[in-house]
Amino acid sequence: MNTLYSFGQFKYLLLSLLLLLLSTSSSPASAYIFSDGEISSRNDLFREILKDEAVARLNELGKVSDADGYLERTFMSPASLRAGNLIRGWMEDAGLRTWVDQLGNLHGRVEGMNASAEALLIGSHLDTVVDAGIFDGSLGIISALSALKVLNDNGTMGKLRRPIEVIAFSDEEGVRFHSTFLGSAALAGVLPVTALQISDKSGVTVQDALKENSLEITEENLLQLKYDPGSVWGYIEVHIEQGPVLEWLGFPLGVVKGIAGQTRLKVTVRGSQGHAGTVPMSMRQDPMAAAAELIVLLESVCKNPKDFLSYDGHCNDISLESLSSSLVCTVGEISTWPSASNVIPGQVTFTVDLRAIDDMGREAVIYELSNQMYKICERRSVSCIIDRKHDANAVVCDSELSSQLKSAAYSALRKMAGDIQDETPTLMSGAGHDAMAMSHLTKVGMLFVRCRGGVSHSPAENVLDEDVWAAGLAILAFLETQL
Ligand code: GLV
Ligand code: MN
Ligand code: MN
């Protein structure tokens, strides 16, 4: 793969570094890239399980796809079920009792010495985006299972002071239903019952998709899926960073300080369908041209929110400076009807994904953006509907869990590299994670793992085998504090 940054990645690098500067005082560290020989000469460090087997499992899971030639696993798809079966076998191999809940989440649990103590939940998602990389989601599930397998093989699993439950969530990406965190939000008790009736492109609802797989979800049993907060101690998640900061700092692991809030919109623009050869330009109500203008407006607002928002009008309590450094907006999906080269479309729909660390700033942007979009549609005599499909507020990770994860990461890196001078970095996440939904249930903490070039949501996503090992060792060190 070309390791040079493209312009887009370069912009993201700058953004991430800015976020990092806002969130940590660490200075760039020397590169911790380990060679196999170096590490094995110090210690075995459960290499066969935490590295060799974990990497083999990531590769195996990365082949479980609904598509030929690229990775795609959406909520309740045939490949998602196959992936679930594979992971279930690995959960059992780690000595966990397993089950699937009515939202399709896969659970593996060990009770330890006290089944009624508050449980530690560890999770990530088994679904993927379209044309995905193999680490997003899967790395968190597999590193947790590898660490538990080590405890099981050591005979120490029964000595855990509290139950440990690994959860492979059924939907985090929101590709099929445009509503993310279906699985984790249900367990956290924040999935509205109306979510069961959301339809995919073929008109299949969330409820139907579950029913097709013999999972009966009703309004009543959705409420019962919510975990009792009193039964849970906390939630942790390992995830690839999906950005370039750790690589830039030369560190395999980092602790997440907080996660940016996000909103997803679906914009529908309707105009007058007609013949491409006969309707004069001055008489058209073309939703495609209107959509193009709306998308360029979105880009301008998100590049320079200061030009569109004002302190007195929108932002009494928020800092435009911090908004400008974290705001990112994307149109990732667009479709037209009837989609033929000689037809002026009747309708265009597109998605908007909008994220910022500042929730009030995000709201102000959506308010201003919507106003300006409606004005453009009015001027062009097309109709415009803006649906809010998903919202998640920014999340601050728990400081106690974060410092425990920091110590665990430090201990893992020390074991691998010997003496370590630098502090484990702390960084913000621009990407969304199941931890956002789980934060409504319990305290959350996250550990990021370095990835190549900051690339994710792409088949070029890559994590060094040694960094997979480091992640497994860090979770193991964290679990050892629960013995
Ligand atoms: C999840 O990957 C997201 O969209 O942030
Ligand atoms: Mn993702
Ligand atoms: Mn993810």
Query: Which pair of tokens denotes residue 294?
Result: 């709306």
- Provide residues with CB under 6 Å of ligand 1: 173, 431-432
- Spatial distance between the Cα atoms of 405 and 104, rounded to a whole number of angstroms: 28
Residue of 136, 172, 256, 352 with the most ligand 1 atoms within 8 Å of its CB, for mutation: 172
pLDDT digits (tens, 9 = 90+) for 59-87: 999 999 999 999 999 999 999 999 999 99
Q: Which two tokens stand for residue 301?
A: 């607002």
pLDDT in tens, 117-158: 999 999 999 999 999 999 999 999 999 999 999 999 999 999
* Mean per-residue pLDDT, 446-450: 98
β-strands 395-396, 253-259: how paired? antiparallel
Dihedrals phi, psi of 359, to nearest 5 degrees:
-65, -40
Q: How far apart are CA 17 and CA 446, in angstroms?
A: 19
Q: Is the pLDDT of residue 5 over 50?
A: no
Q: Tell me, what's the pLDDT at 323? A: 85
Ligand nearest to the backbone CA of 174: 1
pLDDT above 90 (res 4): no
pLDDT number for residue 254: 97
pLDDT at 275 over 70: yes
Distance of CA 433 from the midpoint of ligand 1 (Å): 7
The two tokens of residue 177 are 């239903």
- In this prediction, residue 25 has a pLDDT band, given cuts at 50, 70 and 90, of very low
The answer to whether 286 touches 345, Cβ cutoff 8 Å, is yes
Share in percent of the chain as helix, strand, coil (round to 5): 40, 20, 40
pLDDT tens figures, 244-271: 999 999 999 999 999 999 999 999 999 9
Residue with tokens 């120490």: 156
Higher pLDDT, 405 or 34: 405
At 315-325, the pLDDT tens digits run 655 577 778 88
Cα–Cα distance for residue pair 454/9, rounded to 1 Å: 8
Atom of ligand 1 nearest to the CA of 432: 5
Question: What pLDDT is recorded for position 1?
Answer: 32
Is the model's pLDDT at 13 over the cut of 70?
no
CA 358/CA 380 separation, integer angstroms: 33
Protein residues within 5 Å, CB atom, of ion ligand 2 = 136
Q: Is the pLDDT of residue 239 over 60?
A: yes
Secondary structure of residue 359 in the 3-state scheme = helix
- The whole-model pTM stands at 0.86
